[in-house]
């Protein structure tokens, strides 16, 4: 659909458009200059969200080759494919880590950042088997928890929590070896896809399961034991912030500790640096801000309703 | 950004990388062997998420040709396009059903699975007009429920619930004719896009509406009547599980029954095999675990707050 | 995977498939005819979701060129790139606005709709610097609120609220200059990506922050002041609807007013045309349906739990 | 591979690059202004080579559906696909014709050009069955001429002359109904792919074959009868030009006439407005500039060689 | 660019377009029915030109990994990549061979054709090292022949003859193991790209070079020894055809034999089943139709010119 | 199409395939090791043909923005687009030059090669206006030579010679500033598309025209004056080679010199370091190996034919 023109009518419009764009660009550019004062400017590239997405696809490929790569051949051929995927993962990851490092420390020179990127990516590759082992414990936990499935394949291919946990466990390892920026981009991608928001700084044990998942929030300093299960809408959050001298909130331990074998039902909210003892069940919609001993059952007190 | 090298410096690095990848692949591959013991291995391909996404796009195209295909021509030309889209849907669907069947029963031979895929896909195609009819009742219900719109087109193009319901209604029909794996993949795609998690096993009547939708969970054995409306964050879930001898939860009716003309407001949680009678209104944030008679108004009892 | 055939066996199947598709298309086409009675038919194209996605990518590019376009050059070169992106944004936007206008008023002629599309798109382009200014206040507010980050770049690249606010602020400007259909498509795209559902009709001041975000709902007639912060799962909704003579709900002010410096914690539900006074804090899970004076602290009354 | 930089070293380079580009653009832009004096400037779009390529793919699809579209179904389904392809061809073609017309006559207004484009494209669509009939005579002639094949499919899928003839026959029809620019673009695409250069203005009868084809040139005013066969490297060219008052060569009949059943062997050159009588054979490498009577055998006189 | 319409004007046009397309499709479809009588109809798919292009890219990748794949790693990693490329080549090739076989023999059943495709593709894979060895002799010959290059890489990356020879040598092996249709498609792709037309049936020895190449034609029954060099425009063709009872030319030996160490300069034409003895040089533009003994120098007799 | 299998039958085949691929890769890899002895191995990347194609597209865009980019706006907007295209050209070109340099001199270190790439690319950008000026003289010459066109646009969009000359003139400039490998890749791309083979080393004056073009060869040391016109199939080649001590041909002046205003008709062959004087016409099919004085008319002596 286009308006009817002969060249002279178009020329008039063209002139008007050109003037508006010119003027707009000048104003946009002026704001940009101001913003730079706040953000530490750097001349290097930022990590690419597209590349990160591809890296995580490769992580899934090397962790679940039977389900993602779908190739069935001799062991030698399968290992060849695994090698090629792993090498591609390594290459792409080292580049994005290099970009992240240069952002944080632009004075080191781009070659040095690139070299450190290679070294850190290599370290991460060495952690892949452990990540795979942990993810398989999660898949087992999800399976044990859900009467609606009889199949690991269905869980791996379609359950959002598996997606979220791969992103989290990979991002968490990156954070541990000192990679900036990238970890949060990785977990936010999963947050967008699944509605499950796990901060890469959180510590989560083996056999971890989340059912449905939408609305789950797990804060940066959470410590979660083994065999813990959460349902949709559960928040493990901070109660209040300590501000530093400049009024910016300080990054201190401020999120809950959940010991082994804890289950938290839908929409419960657990806030502050409290400890939920092992083998505890927290009921749905509970608002919990104090520590509870092991083997507790926490339920909402006045959760009755009235029928009119 | 790349580190500065001459070929000899690169060769050293190359050797190191090769060694790490080699070692990592060996370990990854070892875990893989273990995992196979759990998952019934099959040599056939799995359903493709990419293909499923395309199938659902075709479902939308044949259900809403005026809104998705955007072609306006003679009736003969419009039917020709509809035929081509339907045939493409059929072809792609039959392939994915074949893959699903072979996964579940790899001993039948790939040709037999492929042939059954064709037959089941053909059956599904025959259900498309009924799916279209039902979806149009949903669109009408959404329209009747929302003061913010004056337009079917806006609802169809942008309301997440329409997206979720097409995925659910299509997946539900697949499940009814015995297709494994695929239905859950289909509803989880919608879950990821909309935050609305409807199990394909649920039974949902005509004129069904969900507003906003994020966080809604509808369990596998739910039975929902006609003219039912839900708001964001509503859970229709299970209260607790029955385990079988091996400790795996058993798949029995365990989710609520909502009769006709029930409305459930935001963040209400309804759990267990209870019945909510027809023409009942369940208020926001209600936690409901017992059946209520028809024409009830259920509200949260102590939902007062205090202002300090 | 394909069933084993020789040409004659295929021919039989082909005939059967052809018959089913033929029959299905006839039925689908019949429903289509019925549906048209409801939807005001138009022969023009609808706005394209694909194009809208691309437009918003361009909006992000012109607002955050350092973070999205990642080009670093002389000011003249940076402005040249900004001009090219802005012009592309203008061109694509004018086309989609033209389609939206023609949908609403198909009697005006396609050229007239296209011409109005150009004029309105030009107006919107002039609003881009103000949108940029507002978004930077939001980024500042998010930064001031979150101990987990030290970096504007991380916020801009990965925080869902930034994504949601760009969509909302752009859609809101479109709505203000009278563009139909498009605004809602734009905010629903962000809703799908972030779980944050902001109606384009809502009015939101400067320095607005949402943390985590999943499940937040902000209704069409909300009025939100400056320096307001929301957490995940907060609903600012309508209490009940007024129906018009035909039983369709009427579009009147029905959502809350939040004055400056209000903070609302996770999962609180605020309903109806009430006013929350400035400098008020609303606690998590609160269900609020009455106005509160400035500087209040609203907390859930019986939010205790019991440990068994 | 990138040079090693810290931000300050990059800034210096950036400045230098910016200056060079700025200066270059100024110079390029100045030449551009000059060139416009020669070319009649127009504000409308030019025909798109990409679109033309796609149109020709559609022509092949509707002419050889069994070989290109590869769909086998019921007659009704095959016709539905044919309709959809034909409609797409029509739509794309009408757009490109509109662009061509507006180029030639920018004063008519863009809507009028677009409307004429629709009418002319419709005319062309009506010629498609005749084009198909002619092409099938060519395929038959190629088959009758080549001992190396036993298969129509092989000819259609892989022989360059089929490709060249479809482009030529389609372009020739466009030229006959008065479409400018487009015809030459179409035949040059085939020229690039096959080394066969047929001017769209040439007139070519039924059952036309070219073997190998590379280097064949057929001039604008050639008239070629039925059952004519050419080999690689044959030129049917002009001898010399008549110039008009401004020194530009005049477009008059200046290429050969080949009557029915003429065969011309490899690398023969036939120049000027001469007539080669029916049932004549012209030998390889012949240089022919005079008319020959029917049933002649023209061979190179001193075509002997010596062996030393 | 689009014509100006309101919906009613569009409806009229739509009707007219629909009628023309309907009518055209009917006519096209009628011709199609006729054509089928000539071509042995088959319900299976034809080989895909797209797939063939990809297969040849893979052939180049496995033959020249350093130049095409550009990966440098440990020997184990390089072999892993080679394995993955080879396996992909095998898989795609087996599919296209299966299609070719089913075309020729549609009564065997699609599974049988697919199985034979696998077996033949496996045989071809085993021939790859020999193809690689031969191609490297060609590269050496080209290098020895050309003063304009000092580099194997430049030859492999940019000389058309390398491209043509890979296609020919691969197609020739396919032909030898009995694959129909595919070989000619493969050599015609190279013909289109390079202007070098080598029939896959020709027999060509080691160390074969063509300079420039455009216009070279090498017929189906040619036999060419080792260390032979051709220049642009050389034809090794048939003199005349023997027709069978039905008037179709018979496929008998009809092209030249060139013994070892023969060089043929630009635009020479050598026709018929003659033998050019070893160590012979054929001059440019020579027209040769009789055998010559070894160590001859054949030059055009009256190749003088006159200057006026 | 796939063969019918159950998992055990597939496993047997899988084993066989794996063994063959393994064996083949070993053999391929062994040859590869041998080949490396010949080619000077380098660990850096080679220039990318894909990238080169894109670079040339950008060259066309900045030379003919009205015809390729098709954007019509204010002068400021047009220059902004030109700047963006030029900068992209520069960036991509500098990368490919860097790769070329590192290939030739891998001991310099990758950063140094990259830096030199930037400097040389910058030099080339400065030559773009001169390239544009020359190309416009060529377009003028083509126009003056062809009665079949009335339009610069048609020539620029569809005449192969324009394509060939842009590639040649750009490659020639690269060669002059010392870039290896890249120039030949660039002219071979045009050779493949047009059948016109111009060595980047040739020197060609202003107002150069080639008609039809297929089969034209212009050797490395040719020197061509202004206002020269060639027709299809013309060879400007070497007569014979001087070999160096190792038997490799030496790169000395060995191709013809054509002075100003020379015209060479179809399929003429001019060989050796001879001079064709200004204002000379060389007739079709002439075989010329001696110098001719200015203003000559060279025609084939015994070019008569006989009619039998």
Interface chains of chain D (3 or more CB pairs under 8 Å): A, B, C, E, F
Three-state secondary-structure class, residue B285: coil
Question: Chain B, 135-154: which have a CB under 8 Å from a chain C CB?
Answer: 136, 140, 143-149, 151-154
C-alpha closest to that of A116 among A102, A132, A137, A136: A102
pLDDT confidence bin for E32, thresholds 50/70/90: low
Query: Range with the lowest mean pLDDT among A246-250, D231-235, E153-157, F105-109?
Result: A246-250
Q: For residues A146 and B238, what is the distance between their CA atoms, to the nearest angstrom?
A: 11
> Containing H/E element for D271?
strand D269-271
C-alpha closest to that of A212 among A251, A266, A174: A266
Question: Chain F, 258-287: which have a CB under 8 Å from a chain A CB?
Answer: none
Quick one: average pLDDT of A28-56? 73
| Nearest CB to D74; choose among C18, C73, C111 | C18
Q: For residues A281 and A260, what is the distance between their CA atoms, to the nearest angstrom?
A: 11
E111 touches chain B (CB under 8 A): yes
> Containing H/E element for F271?
strand F269-271
Sort out which chain D residues have CB atoms less than 8 A from C22's CB and list them. Answer: 74, 76-77
C-alpha angle C301-C286-B142 in degrees, rounded to nearest 5: 140
Q: What is the mean pLDDT of chain B?
A: 89
Pick left, alpha or beta for residue A22 (phi over 0 → left; psi -120 to 50 → alpha; otherwise beta): alpha
Task: Tell me which chain A residue has its CA closest to the CA of residue E72.
Answer: A87
Beta-bridge partner residues of A258: A224, A276
Query: Range with the lowest mean pLDDT among A77-81, C58-62, D236-240, F34-38?
Result: F34-38
pLDDT in tens, B81-127: 999 999 999 999 999 999 999 888 888 888 899 999 999 999 999 99
* DSSP-derived secondary structure letter, E107: G
Q: For residues E178 and B41, what is the distance between their CA atoms, to the nearest angstrom?
A: 37
Q: For residues E241 and E261, what is the distance between their CA atoms, to the nearest angstrom?
A: 29
Comparing A248 with E296, the larger pLDDT belongs to: E296
| Nearest CB to B74; choose among E18, E74, E77 | E18
Quick one: average pLDDT of A100-126? 90
> Containing H/E element for C187?
helix C182-194
C155 touches chain B (CB under 8 A): no
pLDDT in tens, F40-52: 446 777 788 899 9
C-alpha closest to that of B210 among B273, B166, B257: B166
Q: For residues F32 and E72, what is the distance between their CA atoms, to the nearest angstrom?
A: 13
Q: What is the dihedral of CA C135, C136, C138, C142, to 10 degrees?
A: 140
Query: What are the distances in angstroms from CA C264 to CA A169, C195, C233?
Result: 31, 17, 10
Q: For residues E116 and E123, what is the distance between their CA atoms, to the nearest angstrom?
A: 11
Quick one: average pLDDT of D112-138? 95
pLDDT in tens, E232-268: 999 999 987 777 777 677 788 999 999 999 999 998 9
Q: What is the pLDDT of residue F295?
A: 96
- Asked if pLDDT for residue D72 goes beyond 80, the answer is no
Sort out which chain E residues have CB atoms less than 8 A from F1's CB and list them. Answer: 44-45, 95, 98-99, 102, 110, 113-114, 117
* DSSP-derived secondary structure letter, D107: G
Name F301's Cβ contacts closer than 8 Å, sequence gap at least 6: E302, E304, E305, E306
Neighbour count for residue A39 (Cβ, 10 Å): 17
Are E133 and F31 a contacting pair at CB < 8 A?
yes
Best-predicted range by mean pLDDT (A96-105, D165-174, F41-50): D165-174
Measured in angstroms, the CA of B82 and the nearest CA of chain D are apart by 9
Q: For residues C133 and C139, what is the distance between their CA atoms, to the nearest angstrom?
A: 10
Are B43 and F10 a contacting pair at CB < 8 A?
yes
Sort out which chain F residues have CB atoms less than 8 A from E151's CB and list them. Answer: 39, 180-181
Phi and psi for F39 in degrees, rounded to 5? -80, 130
Quick one: average pLDDT of D147-161? 85
Task: Quickly name the fold that domain A45-195 has.
Answer: 1.10.3130
Phi and psi for B212 in degrees, rounded to 5? 65, -60
- Asked if pLDDT for residue E184 goes beyond 60, the answer is yes
How far is it between the farthest Cα atoms of chain D?
82
Are E46 and D67 a contacting pair at CB < 8 A?
yes
Sort out which chain C residues have CB atoms less than 8 A from D10's CB and list them. Answer: 72
Q: What is the dihedral of CA C103, C104, C108, C109, to 10 degrees?
A: 0
Measured in angstroms, the CA of D83 and the nearest CA of chain B are apart by 7
Where are the strands (E) in chain A, listed by range? Answer: 197-198, 203-204, 209-211, 217-218, 223-224, 229-231, 235-237, 257-258, 263-264, 269-271, 275-276, 281-282, 287-288, 297-300, 305-307
Q: What is the pLDDT of residue F37?
A: 42
Beta-bridge partner residues of C257: C223, C275
Question: Chain E, 38-77: which have a CB under 8 Å from a chain C CB?
Answer: 41-44
Most F-contacting residue of B5, B12, B18, B114 (CB-CB within 10 A), to test interface: B5
* CB F288 within 8 Å of CB F298: yes
* CB D77 within 8 Å of CB C18: yes
Most D-contacting residue of B69, B77, B80 (CB-CB within 10 A), to test interface: B80
Q: For residues C40 and B152, what is the distance between their CA atoms, to the nearest angstrom?
A: 9
Q: For residues C189 and B160, what is the distance between their CA atoms, to the nearest angstrom?
A: 9
* DSSP-derived secondary structure letter, C260: T
Quick one: average pLDDT of B163-170? 98
- Asked if pLDDT for residue A297 goes beyond 60, the answer is yes
- Asked if pLDDT for residue E4 goes beyond 50, the answer is yes
| Nearest CB to C14; choose among D14, D22, D73 | D73
Q: What is the pLDDT of residue D86?
A: 96
pLDDT in tens, B226-279: 999 999 999 999 987 777 777 677 788 999 999 999 999 998 999 999 999 999
Most F-contacting residue of C72, C79, C83, C87 (CB-CB within 10 A), to test interface: C83
C-alpha angle C191-C195-C199 in degrees, rounded to nearest 5: 40
* CB C257 within 8 Å of CB C222: yes
- Asked if pLDDT for residue F208 goes beyond 50, the answer is yes
The DSSP result for A224-278, as a single string, is E-SS-EEETT-EEE-S-PPB-TTSPBP----S-EE-TT-EE-TT-EEESS-EE-T
- Asked if pLDDT for residue A303 goes beyond 80, the answer is no
CB-facing half-sphere around the CA of D71: CA atoms within 13 A: 20
- Asked if pLDDT for residue F151 goes beyond 80, the answer is no
Measured in angstroms, the CA of C88 and the nearest CA of chain E are apart by 17
Sort out which chain E residues have CB atoms less than 8 A from D69's CB and list them. Answer: none
Q: What is the pLDDT of residue F128?
A: 96
Q: What is the pLDDT of residue A304?
A: 56
Number of residues in chain F: 308
Q: What is the pLDDT of residue A11?
A: 82
pLDDT confidence bin for B45, thresholds 50/70/90: confident
Quick one: average pLDDT of E5-31? 87
pLDDT in tens, C232-244: 999 999 987 777 7
B20 touches chain E (CB under 8 A): no
Q: What is the pLDDT of residue B37?
A: 42
Q: For residues C302 and A304, what is the distance between their CA atoms, to the nearest angstrom?
A: 12
* CB A268 within 8 Å of CB A234: yes
How far is it between the farthest Cα atoms of chain F?
82
Q: Where in chain C is the domain with CATH 2.160.10.10?
A: 202-302
Are D147 and E31 a contacting pair at CB < 8 A?
no
* CB A156 within 8 Å of CB A135: no
| Nearest CB to B215; choose among C2, C3, C215 | C215
Comparing B150 with D155, the larger pLDDT belongs to: D155
Name D33's Cβ contacts closer than 8 Å, sequence gap at least 6: none
A9 touches chain E (CB under 8 A): no
For chain E, the C-alpha Rg in angstroms (whole number) is 24
* DSSP-derived secondary structure letter, E83: H
Task: Quickly name the fold that domain D202-302 has.
Answer: UDP N-Acetylglucosamine Acyltransferase; domain 1 (2.160.10)
pLDDT in tens, C117-158: 999 999 999 999 999 999 999 999 999 988 877 778 889 988
ipTM confidence score: 0.90
Query: What are the distances in angstroms from CA A222 to CA A272, B129, C269?
Result: 9, 50, 26
pLDDT confidence bin for C37, thresholds 50/70/90: very low
Where are the strands (E) in B205-262, listed by range? Answer: 209-211, 217-218, 223-224, 229-231, 235-237, 257-258
Q: For residues F237 and F255, what is the distance between their CA atoms, to the nearest angstrom?
A: 5
Q: Where in chain D is the domain with CATH 1.10.3130.10?
A: 45-195
C203 touches chain E (CB under 8 A): no
Three-state secondary-structure class, residue C243: strand
Q: For residues B98 and A245, what is the distance between their CA atoms, to the nearest angstrom?
A: 64
D1 touches chain E (CB under 8 A): no
Q: For residues B128 and B89, what is the distance between their CA atoms, to the nearest angstrom?
A: 11
Q: For residues D264 and D270, what is the distance between their CA atoms, to the nearest angstrom?
A: 9
Buried b (16+ CB within 10 A) or exposed e, C143-168: bbbbbbbebbbbbbbbbbbbbbbbbb
- Asked if pLDDT for residue B40 goes beyond 80, the answer is no
The DSSP result for D200-258, as a single string, is TT-EE-SS-EESS-TT-EE-TT-EE-SS-EE-TT-EEE-S-PPB-TTSPBP----S-EE
Q: What is the pLDDT of residue F36?
A: 45
Q: What is the mean pLDDT of chain E?
A: 89
Quick one: average pLDDT of A280-306? 84
Q: What is the pLDDT of residue D42?
A: 62
Q: What is the pLDDT of residue F302?
A: 53
């Amino acid at each position: 659909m286009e308006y009817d023109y002969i060249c002279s009518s178009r020329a008039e419009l063209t002139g008007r458009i050109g003037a508006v764009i010119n003027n707009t660009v000048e104003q946009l550019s002026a704001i940009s200059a101001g913003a730079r004062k706040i953000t530490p400017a750097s001349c290097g590239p930022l990590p690419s969200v597209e590349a990160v997405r591809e890296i995580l696809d490769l992580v899934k490929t090397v962790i679940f080759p039977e389900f993602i790569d779908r190739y069935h051949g001799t062991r030698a051929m399968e290992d060849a494919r695994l090698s090629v995927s792993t090498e591609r993962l390594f290459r792409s990851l080292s580049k994005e880590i290099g970009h992240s490092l240069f952002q944080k420390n632009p004075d080191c020179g781009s070659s040095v950042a690139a070299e450190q990127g290679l070294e850190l990516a290599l370290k991460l590759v060495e952690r892949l088997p452990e990540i795979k082992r942990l993810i398989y414990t999660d898949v087992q936990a999800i399976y044990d928890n859900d009467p609606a499935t009889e199949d690991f394949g269905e869980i791996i291919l379609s359950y959002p929590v598996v997606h979220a946990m791969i992103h989290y466990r990979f991002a968490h390892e990156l954070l541990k070896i000192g990679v900036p920026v990238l970890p949060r981009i990785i977990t936010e991608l999963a947050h967008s896809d699944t509605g499950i928001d796990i901060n890469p700084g959180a510590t989560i044990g083996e056999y971890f399961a989340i059912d449905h998942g939408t609305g789950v929030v797990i804060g940066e300093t959470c410590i979660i034991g083994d065999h813990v299960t959460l349902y949709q809408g559960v928040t493990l959050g901070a109660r209040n912030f300590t501000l530093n001298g400049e009024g910016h909130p300080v990054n201190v331990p401020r999120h809950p500790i959940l010991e082994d074998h804890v289950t938290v039902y839908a929409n419960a909210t657990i806030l502050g640096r409290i400890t939920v003892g092992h083998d505890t069940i927290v009921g749905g919609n509970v608002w919990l801000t104090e520590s509870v001993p092991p083997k507790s059952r926490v339920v909402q007190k006045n959760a009755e309703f009235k029928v009119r």
